[in-house]
Amino acid sequence: MFNTIYIMWLRQIKRYWRSKSRIIGSIGQPLLFLIALGFGLGPVFERAGQGNYLNFLAPGVMGQTILFMAIFNGVELIWDRQFGFLKETLVAPISRLEIVLGRVLGGATIATFQGVLVFCLTLPLGFRPEISLLSVSAPGLMFLIALVYTALGTAIASLMKDFHGFQLIMNFLVMPTYFLSGAIFPLESAPPVLKSISRVNPLTYGIDGLRQVLTGTSRLGLATDILVLIAISFILLLVSSYLFSKIEA
């Protein structure tokens, strides 16, 4: 079982490393957010008594990168399905659960790497994380966020047969998920409706956890963040495995 999962994981990693343009292109939007918002709204944020806006924004931009990379991993599944590569895998005498676990873990690893890469980019821009024992757990939190959204992207892609339908659904989900997670503005003063929506948004817990381990500020508590992410990732892994098992070879 573990051999199959490892092979599928390694296949995802190799595909990622072969696409140098994908690696470079995926840091463009985070840099835009960091520079345009971080420096553009920084003085306003400070005058409002909220402190350094870049320190607030940086974990949110890391979460954004992980979200986008993880959930759009489903595009590769549709690609493989349309061009016949997936059929070769499905007819092999291996469990589909092993296939989907390998794909999800591979996609989550790639998204985590992108999150770490963006973290490195924030440092020369002025982000100053707190150095503590908790800060070394940041990649682990990134992986949990990536696991949630890679599993979600895989589940949705298992139901889709073309890129256009997947992209429409993703655009409908991704941007509201990001903007209602507290990534770019504090939720403490948000209207009750937005607060309620953010409570059922998994990314809210991921970004709150990153802020806790990197800047020492948390609204929900690190233990709550981790438990919620683990629970949701487990549920979505079960759902994605079930939906993937229904794909016809």
Question: What would the pLDDT profile of 51-75 be if each residue is shown by its tens digit?
Answer: 788 888 899 999 989 998 888 887 7
Length of the chain counted residue by residue:
249
73 Cβ partners below 8 Å, 6+ apart?
12, 103, 107, 110, 111, 150, 153, 154
Residue 58, burial from CB neighbour count under 10 angstroms (0-12, 13-18, 19+): buried
On average, the pLDDT of the chain sits at 83
* Confidence class for position 96, pLDDT limits 50, 70, 90: confident
Supply the pLDDT for residue 229.
95
Q: Select the more confidently predicted residue: 247 or 118.
A: 118
Rounded Cα distance, 163 and 41, in Å: 36
Q: How far apart are the first and last CA of the chain?
A: 20
Supply the pLDDT for residue 231.
96
Domains: count for the chain = 1
**Cβ pair 150, 102 in contact under 8 A:** no
Predicted confidence (pLDDT) at residue 225 exceeds the cutoff of 90 = yes
| Residue among 183, 133, 151, 8 at smallest CA distance from 80 | 8
Predicted confidence (pLDDT) at residue 149 exceeds the cutoff of 90 = yes
Supply the pLDDT for residue 142.
94
Supply the pLDDT for residue 84.
66
Average pLDDT, integer, range 181-201: 85
**Domain, as residue range, for 99:** 2-245
| Residue among 78, 68, 71 at smallest CA distance from 26 | 68
Predicted confidence (pLDDT) at residue 15 exceeds the cutoff of 80 = no
Average pLDDT, integer, range 187-214: 89
Supply the pLDDT for residue 21.
62
The continuous run of DSSP H or E covering 165 comes out as helix 163-179
Rounded Cα distance, 138 and 119, in Å: 10
Predicted confidence (pLDDT) at residue 232 exceeds the cutoff of 90 = yes
Supply the pLDDT for residue 219.
85
Residue type (1 letter), 105: L
**Cβ pair 108, 12 in contact under 8 A:** no
Supply the pLDDT for residue 189.
77
Predicted confidence (pLDDT) at residue 190 exceeds the cutoff of 90 = no
* Confidence class for position 148, pLDDT limits 50, 70, 90: very high
* Confidence class for position 49, pLDDT limits 50, 70, 90: low
Q: Which two tokens stand for residue 14?
A: 């190799």
Supply the pLDDT for residue 48.
63
Average pLDDT, integer, range 21-40: 77
Rounded Cα distance, 99 and 69, in Å: 19
* Confidence class for position 137, pLDDT limits 50, 70, 90: confident
Biggest CA pair distance of the chain: 63
Rounded Cα distance, 140 and 212, in Å: 13
